[in-house]
Amino acid sequence: MTDISLQTADLNMSPDIIMGTLQQLSKVQQCLSASLNSINCHEKCEASSFTAIQETEYNKCQNENVEQEVKIEKSLHTYSKQERAKMLADGYSFERHMLDRLWTFCGLISMFILTVQLVCRFDPTDVVGIVIALVLGVLVTDFASGLVHWGADTYGAVDLPIIGKSFIRPFREHHVDPTAMTRHDFFETNGNNFMLIVPFAVRFIYKGFTLSEHLLREHYRFDLFAYSLMCFVIMTNQIHKWAHTYYGLPKYIEFLQKWHLILPRKHHRIHHVAPHETYFCITTGWLNYPLEKISFFPTFEKLIEALTGIPPRRDDMKWAGKKVE
């Protein structure tokens, strides 16, 4: 009888024990959930802190780079003129010199072939048309030389990819040391210009071999205009070099300069008065005066600055040793 009573009491207590156990398990679960939430929050805080640190470090690096660029830009005026000239001259690499040689040889060969083609097609009955075509070629080249010269002097920077060292650098060097180009060899002086004309010369040579005689006669004046333009594009840097050479020039070059058939030395000196903002045409210089009278280049500078906020000649003034604000 006693055993039965004990068993009954045990059975009556079992639900209480089970409920207590479940409550304890629930508390354990809540503790575990709280711990997991705490861990997640801690990880999120750490990730957020790490991201914030990364962003801070990135911004710091960016600011340091900008400050370094500004420091370099503003410190150029502390270098002597000779040091700045050497920095620019050292930008002419061996690879660039070999490319200049290649383009020069390709240009000479292609222009020789084109000259032979045009001489064989010469028409003595159209002398007036031929002269007009040749003179127009010179005028267009003079204008193009001014446009390119103005653009390179006024905008761009030496540290620009590709064009900076190969194209902008010689213009900056020329203003720091105007006579430096007189020490350049034939390839360094003329390589860039030969590079410009080779594709066009090859196109006209192909045309001379493939078109009919009738079409070639019809195109003769235009072909002569293009030929004149290409010849004077090739010669522009050499003519510019002669304008800075004061001793040892051949008599025929001095004659051409004296009669202003090519860029005269005295005429070109006007451009080299700081801040180098006028008389940009350097093939013959024929168009300098009329372009100056109508304020051609200053008008474009004002328009560009109004549209883009880019001031003219910032990089040029920097290399000239002037403080840039």
Q: Tens digit of pLDDT for each residue in 185-222?
A: 999 899 999 999 999 999 999 999 999 999 999 999 99
3-class DSSP assignment, residue 248: coil
Helical packing angle, 127-154 and 220-243, nearest 10°: 50
Confidence band (pLDDT; 50, 70, 90) for 22?
low
- pLDDT, position 9: 46
- pLDDT, position 85: 54
List Cα–Cα distances, 200 to 61, 76, 164, 231, 257, in angstroms: 47, 40, 24, 12, 29
Q: Which segment of 83-92, 141-150, 270-279, 313-322 scores lowest on mean pLDDT?
A: 83-92
* CA 136 to chain centroid: 30
- Record the tokens describing residue 47, joined without a space: 């990730």
- pLDDT, position 277: 86
State if pTM tops 0.85. no
Alpha-carbon gap, residue 157 to 146, rounded angstroms? 18
| Of 69, 68, 50, 48, nearest in space to 58 by CA | 50
- Record the tokens describing residue 110, joined without a space: 């292609």
Identify the burial level of 14 via C-beta atoms within 10 angstroms of its C-beta, where 0-12 means exposed, 13-18 middle and 19 or more buried: exposed
Q: Interior CA angle at 151 toward 145 and 153, to 5°?
A: 95
C-alpha radius of gyration, the chain, whole number? 38
- Record the tokens describing residue 51, joined without a space: 């991201």
The label of the residue with tokens 């001095």 reads 254
Identify the burial level of 282 via C-beta atoms within 10 angstroms of its C-beta, where 0-12 means exposed, 13-18 middle and 19 or more buried: buried
- pLDDT, position 11: 45
